[in-house]
Amino acid sequence: MPVSLKHPDPALHLRGVAEDQLARAPKGQADVRPTTELLHELQVHQIELQMQNETLREAQFALEESRDRFVDFYEFAPVGYLTITDKGAIAGINLTGAAMLGVERSKLLQLRFASFVTPDTESLWYSHLAIMLKHEGKLNCELSLRRNAGLPLHVRLDSLRLDKKNQAPTVRVVLTDITQRKRAEQQLADMMAGLEQQVSERTQQLRMVSEQLIRTEERERRMLAQDLHDNLIQLLFVIKIKLGQLDPDASYSSVDHIIELVAQTEHAARTTMQQLSLPVLETLGLTPALGWLADQLENTHHLTVHFDSEGEPKPLNDEMQTFLFRAARELLINVARHAKSSDTNLSCLWEESRLVIVVGDDGVGFDATNFLSAPPNPIHFGLRSIYERMINIGGEIEIDSSPGNGTTTVLSVPYSILADRVQLS
């Protein structure tokens, strides 16, 4: 029979119930012991009950205290605790968690957790939940939560699945605010990007300055050579012709001497002019000039160079022509000095869309894989500057070399660049 605790006096009520039971008990079994003995027994029993009651009250008090402590731990923990159903709904959440979501707790229950996740990280959440429901064990992921006001909150989820018999599994989630860390990471990344940007801008500036310097230098050289050719040398010719026309009977024996001096001066000026500019290059163009260069190396460096060319030459501007010629010369001089080559070739290939210049040798070679990162080596200084310049003008360079296998350097420049520059200059 159920006992209602709602009765105004529970003790009185219990007594009534007990007396009822006693009245209904069969009379024959009535205790026949003397009343005093029964009274004593009842008193002992009462004391026992009182003691038991006391112990129970203490236990209950301890339990309440413990429960309060755990509620405290749960509700006010520095992290959010969530229980999520297998349908992705919030089944339970602590106060910290509710504060993180920015919604009152009572309104959160049964809402889908996904509705708090920012669209860009939503798919992360779905896959996280799916994995949790399929597999045992712990899992974590990082998401952003949208909130009514302010910036989204970056959180880390540490999840654990809970299985109960005959019930759908649930997922326990610890929610940690990592916004600070994210912000710091972002700042760091921004700073890095800024620095890299600065470095690349500076490098670009330096490249442009160096490109400008090289161009200026080459323009100056050409102007000087032009000047020597147009003025000084022609004037010397004129002087020489005029001196030669003086009356031979005038007995100026020194005139011959003067003519000789002028001839020497003219020779010196002409040599200077040829060093400054390359008449072959400017008069005949790149292909014949490279052929000439191959011949020259036999005389100047005792290097036999097999020259060949293919295709129809396209217009090149002076700067590009001079650069490619000097690059080929530099590469061949490197071969002569260091390669110990027995077979050297120079090719000038006017391909469909680009000009390719190849310098190849069968000499000692070097390790080209890390020549760019290696500390500057005087042997490779020229090569390095050719490399830099090729990159600057938008061409390509490949150096195929390894110890014992010879070196092949391929320079290629698209005509589009050459054409652009021709129009620019």
Which x/- pattern over 301-320 shows residues binding another protein (rule: CB under 8 A)?
Answer: -----x-x------------
Of the ranges 34-42, 87-95, 188-196, 359-367, which one interacts with another protein (CB under 8 A)? 359-367
Of the ranges 120-128, 172-180, 250-258, 398-406, which one interacts with another protein (CB under 8 A)? 398-406
Alpha carbons 367 and 191: distance in angstroms, whole number: 36
> Cβ 302 to another protein, closest distance in Å?
14
Which x/- pattern over 240-279 shows residues binding another protein (rule: CB under 8 A)?
Answer: xxx-xx-----------------x--xx--x--x-----x
> Cβ 237 to another protein, closest distance in Å?
5
Would you say 402 and 368 are in contact if contact means Cβ atoms under 8 Å apart? yes
Q: For residue 114, which of 75, 142, 87, 137 has the smallest C-alpha distance?
A: 87
Q: Is 169 an interacting residue with respect to another protein (CB under 8 A)?
A: no
Q: How is residue 255 written in tokens?
A: 């005139």
Of the ranges 103-111, 191-199, 377-385, 407-415, which one interacts with another protein (CB under 8 A)? 407-415
Q: For residue 177, which of 246, 300, 78 has the smallest C-alpha distance?
A: 78
> Cβ 389 to another protein, closest distance in Å?
19
Name the residue nearer to another protein (CB basis): 174 or 236: 236
Alpha carbons 132 and 171: distance in angstroms, whole number: 7
Helix (H) or strand (E) holding 130: helix 119-134
Q: Is 353 an interacting residue with respect to another protein (CB under 8 A)?
A: no
Q: For residue 113, which of 79, 137, 142, 146 has the smallest C-alpha distance?
A: 146
The 8-class DSSP code of residue 372 comes to T
Alpha carbons 3 and 22: distance in angstroms, whole number: 17
Per CB under 8 A, the list member of 223, 238, 372, 374 interacting with another protein is 238
Residue type, 128: H
Name the residue nearer to another protein (CB basis): 10 or 315: 315
Q: Residue for token digits 């110990």?
A: 340
What is the CA 215 to chain-centroid distance, rounded? Answer: 34
HEC assignment per residue over 219-258: HHHHHHHHHHHHHHHHHHHHHHHHHHCCCHHHCCHHHHHH
Name the residue nearer to another protein (CB basis): 69 or 306: 306
Q: For residue 341, which of 398, 297, 288 has the smallest C-alpha distance?
A: 297
> Cβ 252 to another protein, closest distance in Å?
16
> What size, in residues, is the chain?
425
Per CB under 8 A, the list member of 80, 97, 395, 406 interacting with another protein is 406
**In the window 60-89, what residues touch another protein (CB under 8 A)?**
none
Alpha carbons 125 and 332: distance in angstroms, whole number: 63
Would you say 322 and 214 are in contact if contact means Cβ atoms under 8 Å apart? no
> Cβ 396 to another protein, closest distance in Å?
8
Per CB under 8 A, the list member of 10, 194, 313, 404 interacting with another protein is 404
Which x/- pattern over 332-351 shows residues binding another protein (rule: CB under 8 A)?
Answer: ----------xx-x-x-x--
> Cβ 284 to another protein, closest distance in Å?
6
Residue numbers at the binding site for another protein (CB under 8 A): 229-230, 233-235, 237-238, 240-242, 244-245, 263, 266-267, 270, 273, 279-280, 282-284, 288-289, 291-292, 295, 306, 308, 342-343, 345, 347, 349, 356, 358, 360-363, 365, 398, 400-402, 404-408, 410, 412
